[in-house]
Amino acid sequence: MPSQPNNQPLRESAQVDNASVQPMPGSKKVYVEGSRPDVRVPMREIQLSQTPTEFGGEENPSLRVYDTSGIYTDPEASIDLRRGLPALRAAWIEERGDTEILPKASAYYTQKRQDDPELTALRFDLSRQPRRAKKGANVSQMHYARRGIITPEMEYIAIRENMALAEARERGDVQHPGEAFGANIPEEITPEFVRSEVARGRAIIPCNINHPESEPMIIGRNFLVKINGNIGNSALGSSIEEEVAKLTWGTRWGADTVMDLSTGKHIHETREWILRNAPVPIGTVPIYQALEKVDGVAEDLTWEVFRDTLIEQAEQGVDYFTIHAGVLLRYVPLTAERVTGIVSRGGSIMAKWCLAHHKENFLYTHFDDICEIMKAYDVAFSLGDGLRPGSVADANDAAQFGELETLGELTHRAWKHDVQVMVEGPGHVPMQMIKENMDKQIEACGEAPFYTLGPLTTDIAPGYDHITSGIGAAMIGWYGCAMLCYVTPKEHLGLPNKDDVKTGIITYKIAAHAADLAKGHPGAQLRDNALSKARFEFRWEDQFNLGLDPDTARSFHDETLPKDSAKVAHFCSMCGPKFCSMRISQEVRDHVAAQGTEVVEEAVRMIDVEAEMQEKAREFREQGAELYQKV
């Protein structure tokens, strides 16, 4: 992890995390061009080797996979944290003609920070000024979608999501049918499909006009399941450079969005560095910073401080805001009997404010004012579940589901403004109670995308909550959840370091992919099939490179069989050279090839006969038991 050199100012010295800029092993960065040359959709193309001669000697086509890593994995790109990423969407935003460049940032707080000479050394050196919708204009993707406009962002997304499907069609690869629980994933993702899903609120494209560096992506249950990684320092530690390293590291391994949950010093400056170097949408919880501004005293929060914070962050380019507007005064007492009370930071801040003033949550009463800000920059709502359960004992209780009803009401209010919305969900929920969360959310929130934290399926494994929650995340993803917020091994215990971020991301990529398979997302199984074929054929390098984490797979393999020759060996360490089930399987194939397909047909016939006999035997046993009982 890079640490800040002693005397050099960050704006001059900031270094990219070296581990984040290596190209992915065995892969090539490719760009697929859309209808215009500046729609260039990045993909990772995994190069595969030939099948060994004894297994048939065929060519294996390279495989293109979804790629969130940005230009950091492109060896042709020039990377400089101090300059930030290229503003790939700038022309699209500009040519829509509905925005204007402000003379300077509108937020009082931003101005104060910019005028502070002590922050110069720390500050990202951004030359451009923020952009805002022209008076009366609405620049949200939902607004365009509802007027029938297909934006370049939508086309970009269609290419990005469709890629695996096109390959699947071309290859005729096998895939099991899914069980999609009401999701309806088309055979081909078209730009028009993207538009229609955004128009009806079933998907969102988080893309603030002040974050033109981000590569468009979509969150909705008829698309690939997405994952979010959290970063952010707290009062207790970690530097700006470390947080940026967590960002580039997290997106390298597959984070589709990143939330900056910083609560420590220099929140504003940290966020600027993150945004300027983020190829993915960035989310925040503005109330955290608002609280810092009133010295951590929740009851001192005001709408004015919060409003200024929203504008500050919107003009920096934050793509979605978690807003805990559903924590109503009357729900707060419902948490008193809980085992773990209120565990959401935002939820507890608002609960405290409501109680202290005995007034309704100002985020709720000012909700339309917030919508006005959101549509001027295209910031999407992530309606926070401030009353989510913090233990399985508190799952699906009155406080949680009461708040969910309110989130449903707010979803429809935001949609009246053509503002994009997703809705946050729990938390800690045992397996048998997960589906109810998804079903209730779909009904209450009119199919707005659901975005859950896990859920954790048991409380008894601190240190392993990426796993307790990965189980729940896979399941709720299958049931229709659109984005899964990762949980790291440090959950409940401490701040995640880079290793924890990676472990959390990979665990959640597994959950999201398992959900895509289960929903029957067209083409999702391509990568499984390619990897399994490589495994069967002892193409070790291909097996590593097709995996979610080639480095770890390779190093685990090398622990037992470190020699390079072992990576072309046609056996593995589990069985050793003499005793290999994969090799025997190949002999079965050769046998069947020699015998002809009649043996297979005969076998299938025999299974049917046998099943019939078994059924007869079962009937006989059951009748026998009955007869016996009657006697």
Q: Distance (Å, rounded) from C-alpha 345 to C-alpha 422?
A: 19
| Pairing assessment for the beta strands 257-260 and 226-231 based on DSSP bridges | parallel
Q: Is 623 in the site for a copy of itself (CB under 8 A)?
A: no
Number of neighbouring beta carbons within 10 Å of residue 334? 16
Q: Is 478 in the site for a copy of itself (CB under 8 A)?
A: yes
Q: Is 490 in the site for a copy of itself (CB under 8 A)?
A: yes
Give the angle subtended at the CA of 219 by the CAs of 213 and 223, to the nearest 5°.
Answer: 120
- Reference 273, options 595, 502, 9; nearest CA is 9
Number of neighbouring beta carbons within 10 Å of residue 95? 9
Backbone angles phi, psi at 253, to 5 degrees: -90, -5
Site for a copy of itself in 504-533 (CB under 8 A): 506-507, 509-511, 513-515, 517-520, 525, 527-529, 531-533
Least gap, CB of 489 to a copy of itself (angstroms): 7
Site for a copy of itself in 173-202 (CB under 8 A): 174, 176, 178-179
Q: Is 618 in the site for a copy of itself (CB under 8 A)?
A: yes
Q: 610, exposed or middle or buried, with CB in 10 Å at 0-12, 13-18, 19+?
A: exposed
Residue from 58, 602, 619, 626 binding a copy of itself (CB under 8 A): 602
One-character DSSP codes across 57-85 = ------EEEE--SGGGG-TTS---TTT--
Q: Is 337 in the site for a copy of itself (CB under 8 A)?
A: yes
| Pairing assessment for the beta strands 40-46 and 27-33 based on DSSP bridges | antiparallel
**Between 414 and 471, CB nearer to a copy of itself:** 471
Least gap, CB of 114 to a copy of itself (angstroms): 26
How many angstroms separate the first and last alpha carbons of the chain?
78
Residues 6+ positions from 543 with CB-CB distance below 8 Å = 531, 534, 535, 553
Residue from 13, 106, 234, 239 binding a copy of itself (CB under 8 A): 234
Q: Is 548 in the site for a copy of itself (CB under 8 A)?
A: yes
Q: Is 591 in the site for a copy of itself (CB under 8 A)?
A: yes
Q: 285, exposed or middle or buried, with CB in 10 Å at 0-12, 13-18, 19+?
A: buried
Q: Is 408 in the site for a copy of itself (CB under 8 A)?
A: yes
The stretch near a copy of itself (CB under 8 A) out of 24-32, 103-111, 206-214, 324-332 is 324-332
**Number of chain positions touching a copy of itself (CB under 8 A):** 146
The stretch near a copy of itself (CB under 8 A) out of 20-28, 71-79, 85-93, 492-500 is 492-500
**Between 205 and 484, CB nearer to a copy of itself:** 484
Site for a copy of itself in 70-99 (CB under 8 A): none
Question: For residues 47 and 67, is the Cβ–Cβ distance under 8 A?
Answer: no
The stretch near a copy of itself (CB under 8 A) out of 17-25, 155-163, 220-228, 493-501 is 493-501
Q: Which residues pair with 451 in a beta bridge?
A: 424, 483
Residues in the chain: 631
Q: Is 543 in the site for a copy of itself (CB under 8 A)?
A: yes
Binding mask of the shown chain, residues 201 to 230, with x at each position contacting a copy of itself by CB under 8 A: ------------------------------
Q: Is 568 in the site for a copy of itself (CB under 8 A)?
A: no
Q: Which residues pair with 237 in a beta bridge?
A: 234
Site for a copy of itself in 27-66 (CB under 8 A): none
Q: Distance (Å, rounded) from C-alpha 215 to C-alpha 390?
A: 34
Residue from 593, 627, 628, 630 binding a copy of itself (CB under 8 A): 593
Q: Distance (Å, rounded) from C-alpha 217 to C-alpha 206?
A: 7
The stretch near a copy of itself (CB under 8 A) out of 66-74, 144-152, 300-308, 468-476 is 468-476
Site for a copy of itself in 386-405 (CB under 8 A): 390-393, 395, 398, 401-402, 405
Residue from 498, 535, 567, 570 binding a copy of itself (CB under 8 A): 535
Q: Is 631 in the site for a copy of itself (CB under 8 A)?
A: no
Q: Distance (Å, rounded) from C-alpha 167 to C-alpha 64?
A: 8
Helix (H) or strand (E) holding 246: helix 240-253
**Between 8 and 532, CB nearer to a copy of itself:** 532
Q: Is 584 in the site for a copy of itself (CB under 8 A)?
A: yes
Site for a copy of itself in 416-435 (CB under 8 A): 428, 430-433
**Between 115 and 603, CB nearer to a copy of itself:** 603
Residues 6+ positions from 104 with CB-CB distance below 8 Å = 111, 114, 129
Residue from 151, 208, 382, 457 binding a copy of itself (CB under 8 A): 457
Helix (H) or strand (E) holding 230: strand 226-231
**Between 102 and 617, CB nearer to a copy of itself:** 617
Q: Is 290 in the site for a copy of itself (CB under 8 A)?
A: no
Backbone angles phi, psi at 97, to 5 degrees: 70, 15
Least gap, CB of 555 to a copy of itself (angstroms): 8
Question: For residues 527 and 550, is the Cβ–Cβ distance under 8 A?
Answer: no
Q: What is the Cα gyration radius of the chain?
A: 27
Residue from 4, 340, 541, 569 binding a copy of itself (CB under 8 A): 340
Site for a copy of itself in 343-372 (CB under 8 A): 343-345, 347-349, 351-352, 355
**44-75 per-residue burial string, b: 16 or more CB within 10 A, e: under 16:** bbbebbebeeebeeeebeebbbbbbbbbbbbe
Give the angle subtended at the CA of 565 by the CAs of 559 and 569, to the nearest 5°.
Answer: 90
Least gap, CB of 198 to a copy of itself (angstroms): 18
Q: Is 172 in the site for a copy of itself (CB under 8 A)?
A: no
Q: Is 449 in the site for a copy of itself (CB under 8 A)?
A: no
DSSP 381: E
